[in-house]
Structure 1
Amino acid sequence: MAIDTILLAVGAKDEDRAERLADAVAEVAGPTGATVVLAHVFTDDEYDTVLDRLDFGPTDDTSPDEVATRHATIREIASLLDDAGVDYETRGAVGEHGETIVNLAKEVGADRVVVGGRRRSPTGKAVFGSVAQEVMLSCPCPVTFVRDE
């Protein structure tokens, strides 16, 4: 199966694994020439907080894509992909993390999704849920999980 599009879902807690995420997508995208879609999904509350922090006013016509491009982890990964010669675009979306990542994967026609996360106990997943687990179970394409060291 040819890989043309890779969706890399980046979250607020991915700053410590930005280099591993960039390496993971560059390893797949480099040989195939695939385009990477750097995606950051914000919940409604997260989006409002980020808009306030970035000094966007309530009447500013700011898209989630613009907000995502200003996210520090997205900028770091974009720089690493530039260095690796990998084509990418940035997308932002507002919604529940897992469901919205799956919807973005469908929307962009992703052939692979890459998500980061940390190791959690089965009880922790049951009680708190897991975005990565939801994506792995619901995504229409293969998912690569990049965890903390």
Structure 2
Amino acid sequence: MAIETILLAVGAGDAERIDRLAEETIDVAGPTGATVVIGHVFTKDEYDDALDNLDFDITAEEVSADDVARRHATVRELTRRFDDADIDYVIHGRVGHHGEKLVELAGEVDADRLVVGGRKRSPTGKAVFGSVAQEVMLEASCPVTFVRADTK
């Protein structure tokens, strides 16, 4: 199966994993020539906070989740790295439940691979707090690569 589209899931907690997320994505996208879809999902509260923090003038313009995602610091850093590595990419933002929206986005863009970051969590922690990465791995229709931050 050829890899033409890679969905890279990015969220608020991924700043600590950005090096590994970029490296793992470039390692696959470079040789295959795949386009990377950078997908950032915001909860409604995260979206509202981002609108405030990024100084969007919501009275003068309609601001989409794509617009907010494009201005997010983690996404800007990833795009810089993809530009340096000559990787084609597009950016999509969504508002809603993280796992659910990532799985939907993977279907919309017909992703051949989904890359998601996470942290080590005990089984009890997953049961009590949930895990976006676990939900994505169980529900996505394409293979999922789980990337953990360096634990040096």
TM-score by length of 1: 0.97
Q: Which moved more, 1:62-71 or 1:129-138?
A: 62-71
Shift of 1:56: 2.2
Alignment of 1:67-78 (within 5 A): 67-78=68-79
Residue of structure 2 in register with 1:6 after alignment: 6
Alignment root-mean-square deviation, CA: 0.9
Alignment-derived partner of residue 62 in structure 1: 63
Give CA-to-partner distance per residue, 1:42-97, whole Å, 9 cap, x none: 00111011111122244331111110011101111111111111110111010100
Q: Which runs of 5+ in 1 are unaligned?
A: none
> What SS class does the counterpart of residue 110 from structure 1 fall into?
coil
Counterpart residue number, 2:137: 136
Count of residue pairs brought into register by the alignment: 149
User: How does the TM-score come out when normalised to structure 2?
Assistant: 0.95
The residue aligned with 1:126 is 127
Give the % identical residues.
Answer: 66
Does residue 48 of structure 2 align to residue 48 of structure 1?
yes
Matched, 1:29 2:29: yes
How far residue 99 of structure 1 moved from its aligned partner, in angstroms, is 0.2
1:11-31 CA-to-partner distances (Å, cap 9, x unmatched) read 111111111101111111111
CA distance in 2, matches of 1:101, 1:28: 19
Q: SS where residue 62 of structure 1 aligns?
A: coil
Unmatched tracts of structure 2, length 5 or more? none
Superposed structure 1 runs of 4+ greater than 6 Å apart: none
